[in-house]
Structure 1
């Protein structure tokens, strides 16, 4: 492995804005009306700076084919997008014969082109943010505990039965060993990576995967694809090390309740925080990303509850100084619905026919949906708030005034011969459809672990504090009673993000799926059946922004008056940098953004008062339209 860290191929920075619309005519003008509205909205607000993206896209399809064929791009695509293309000696004794069905003809050439482009790109110094702040007297102060997002943490095999010994202490998620296992032993890899469908815990037969621990657990996804590494580098420059910082990695496949049942995760997190306070005499700063923010919100309830950590209502105020919420999908991720419904999302829908063939050959839609469903942690990100947040068949809060087709129709079905086999479905309808068409074991897992509604009164919120199923949902439960706690919401904006979908019945009579994304529909910002809206490329703006900008301003959701600061980060990628450079707003790549690292270090150093607010999107306008209101007694 070269000493140069070769970063992953390209953010799709406003790809949809730059793409030439397909000449295909949308039925009844419906597709065209959606395209023009969304295109106009995003282009007007954030600009179209990346006309050269079309050229990059052709090369990218080869990369997606490679990763899709090896381990199912949908899994990595859920929150980490495509991986870096780098040297991979870890593949060991893989023969060329075993790779013939995996590698497209131009793959090696594409790797070389990417590496050459990366060397020529503007390369910013990973340590520069920390060194600059150190020169201003900014130094380590509060202990820092980091909670990664979904799929970020590597999963190691600790089983010692015959089927597992070959993988002992090897990562079957988050390494090249994972890819090797999938190529040579796909069924074995599936048995290891999927949890027991009925218990949601380890599968039978002695299979035992556990989250990797320490900074290595989430600093890189696979060799060369950094996730938390740049934050770690900058923290180190102002004085952080393993004695005053810690990565609280977890097995993201598990439901939150089972994180405690199997791994005692929340007990350990409570102890790490208490140890940090005891050894430093200062409160802890929590830094979470994506799904990690949901984990923290759940932890706040668990640690106070008698049935959990039994810390009481004062525990958070006594131990936590600040919570830095980075790109937190507080109201879920819309792309989670097609993932568990049909094993698809934008990342798969956009593939060309050759790449789709490679993906389907290794992990078909049925298999991908099965894998996602057998990971209850993934379903923690199903959208919350129902039609009050996401809209109904005539309206959505992020619709524009001149929009003819609402985002509220989440799953859309094109008419055939003037009739619809399926009616269009809202988010609420879609979740009901999911529960009515999936296996009983999946329904039992989700209904027993999560809740997706809205509590409209203080009495409802307080009652929900006693129901662990509600603890993940900030619209049904409250922030901790911690008046001294400070919350910082940092998230990216301005990158086209999945908002709704066109679906159809599948062509194959052999599939067990009832519906699949209609990838034949492409025009403007409707990309292969995916209607794009506002967000960070992965999580929609309403999910990352609603609670921070409005929800937590309501008394029932924030009775202690916890201070909330919001700093939005527009997606302004360096067109020559595969990961977007120091000003990216991409969901994952934002962790390397210079301004984000600057803000994290200031809060950790006890200078959070220096952090201002910056809201440049329309989130506060959209939030006002959400049909959740303050109670009359607190107006």
Structure 2
């Protein structure tokens, strides 16, 4: 493109997961063969004017955890709350959700969306960068005004402290309790292939009996059930046994760090494949030769930006839509033949404007990617010369406050901040066209911020 356009550099516009893959590409194209494309350290500087990332999940998304753990997320949880008689019946869970799980666990690209950065980024048992969830009375602000606002004056309603760092909690009481009051049993010390006591064996026998009954009843009704043991539609959960399943629930709550261990425990085959291509940590020393391997290149916390001081990087994303951040789970009624864990849709905040609904805690975002994941690197991690951005590539935050269409004639809307619909947002399109026509980030007005991304970023203690 550069050669055919008189030497004018390209403007790259990745969206969603493509943002991670273009981050990977910038390392690949520089790296020597056979690991990379052999373009050399100046390739990006020579060929790229700007990278305008749209809805970029730089740190992954919590909803990937829900999808891989139980084949559900907010949409399924909401549907279950609306129509529990259908979505909780045996046939649906046996014939649908388990097939969905088996299919999605074969999509290795999904593992690139598992949250990165652990507790340092997403928070621990008793803290998280975000503390509020419901957008109220937004106004555009810049970094200076955000730094001078208190948490109750940032355009959000604040009802109570939320432990967003607990991405999975077994029970609403666990999600809200002080960590000192939570008694936990380490699931990693349990052998998942064997039941642990007589009660487990009896429960196994009861479940097997119940499944036989369900299969026979369904057969009478004319439904085609695979067999009486469910193994034709089973997943890696089948190998765990009741003992392993109970151990997962008894660990009570999982942060972004322990979620990785959880997935390795419940889906070892999937995670073994994924670990060959993706990594979820934070580099202590980016000059360590191990980070020359491609598995680290899509993680912004384990790779350096290219040597391209004249290039610009934008984080462009929607705000103002409740976005999945953490989940309240429970054991399924029949753990041996169904997916043994499900979102507890009865868990809700009673207060108006609460952060918990149908078992899902929400924060500000674009309905798919939380603000923290989309904005932190351009707000702090890459801002100025840092160890992740040694050449000082200029970075900009461009947020677009969600405004839904006012009527059906507007289609998906021209001011939408939703993860996919933002591609039709007129303000975003104008920003892209202006940069493609030669404008810089400063020409656009610099940062355009409606959320508390700078405040939240300041709470993250990351070595820069």
Q: Tell me whether the two structures share a fold, i.e. TM-score over 0.5.
A: yes
- From 442, 458, 461, the equivalent of 2:270 is 442
Which deviations, in whole Å up to 9, do the C-alpha atoms of 1:218-251 show, x marking residues without a partner?
xxxxxxxxxxxxxxxxxxxxxxxxxxxxxxxxxx
Contact 1:366 1:511 in 2 (8 A): no
Give 1:336's aligned residue.
64
Q: Which residue of 1 aligns with 2:413?
A: 581
Whether 1:407 aligns to 2:164 is: yes
Give the whole-Å Cα distance in 2 for the aligned partners of 1:363 and 1:602. 50
CA contact 1:579–1:589 (8 Å) conserved in 2: no
Note if contact 2:286-2:304 (Cα within 8 Å) is conserved in structure 1. no
How far the C-alpha of 1:421 sits from its partner, in A, is 3.2
Query: Could you tell me which residue of structure 1 aligns to residue 387 of structure 2?
Result: 556
TM-score (norm 1): 0.53
Mapping of residues 141-180 of structure 1, within 5 Å? none
Which SS does the other structure have where 2:46 is aligned? Answer: helix
Q: CA deviation at 1:512?
A: 4.9
CA–CA separation in structure 1 for the residues paired with 2:395 and 2:300? 14
How many angstroms does 1:610 deviate by? 2.4
The 8 Å contact of residues 131 and 161 in structure 2, kept in 1 or not, is answered as no
Question: For the structure 1 residues 415 and 496, does the alpha-carbon distance in structure 2 shift closer, same or farther, using more than 3 Å as the test?
Answer: closer
2:4 matched to 1:279?
yes
Report matched runs for 1:254-265 at 5 Å: none
CA drift at 1:519: 1.7
* Cα displacement (A) at 1:347: 1.0
Which residue of 360, 370, 373 corresponds with 2:102? Answer: 370
Higher RCO (CA-CA < 8 Å; seq separation 6+): 2
Shift of 1:629: 2.7
The 5 Å alignment of 1:52-71 reads none
Deviations 1:103-152 (A, max 9, x none): xxxxxxxxxxxxxxxxxxxxxxxxxxxxxxxxxxxxxxxxxxxxxxxxxx
Q: Which residue of 1 aligns with 2:260?
A: 431
**Unpaired runs of at least 5, structure 1:** 1-275, 631-635
Q: Does 2:452 align with 1:614?
A: no
Matching residue of 1:593: 425
Indicate the residue corresponding to 1:605 in structure 2: 437
Gaps of 5+ in 2: 133-150, 152-157, 175-181, 184-248
Which of residues 290, 302, 305 in structure 2 aligns to 1:476? 302
Structure 1 residue aligned with 2:129: 397
Give the match's secondary structure for 1:581: coil
1 CA distance for matches of 2:421 and 2:251? 38
- Among residues 509, 516, 521, which one is paired with 2:347 in the alignment? 521
Aligned residue in 1 for 2:334: 508
Aligned: 1:304 with 2:30: yes
Q: Shift of the alpha carbon at 1:479?
A: 0.8
Shift in alpha-carbon separation, 1:461–1:395, aligned structure 2, 3 A = farther
Residue 541 of structure 1: CA displacement?
A: 0.8
Aligned partner of residue 496 in structure 1, secondary structure: strand
- Superposed displacement of residue 343, structure 1: 0.4
Measured in 2, the distance between the counterparts of 1:414 and 1:357 equals 18
Shift of 1:344: 0.6
Q: How many angstroms does 1:562 deviate by?
A: 0.6
> Does the 8 A contact of 1:571 with 1:586 survive in 2?
yes
> What is the total number of aligned residue pairs between the two structures?
352
1:290 positional shift = 0.6
1:364 is displaced (CA, Å) by 2.5
**What SS does the aligned partner of 1:610 have?**
coil
| Structure 1 position 607, deviation (Å) | 2.3
RMSD: 2.3
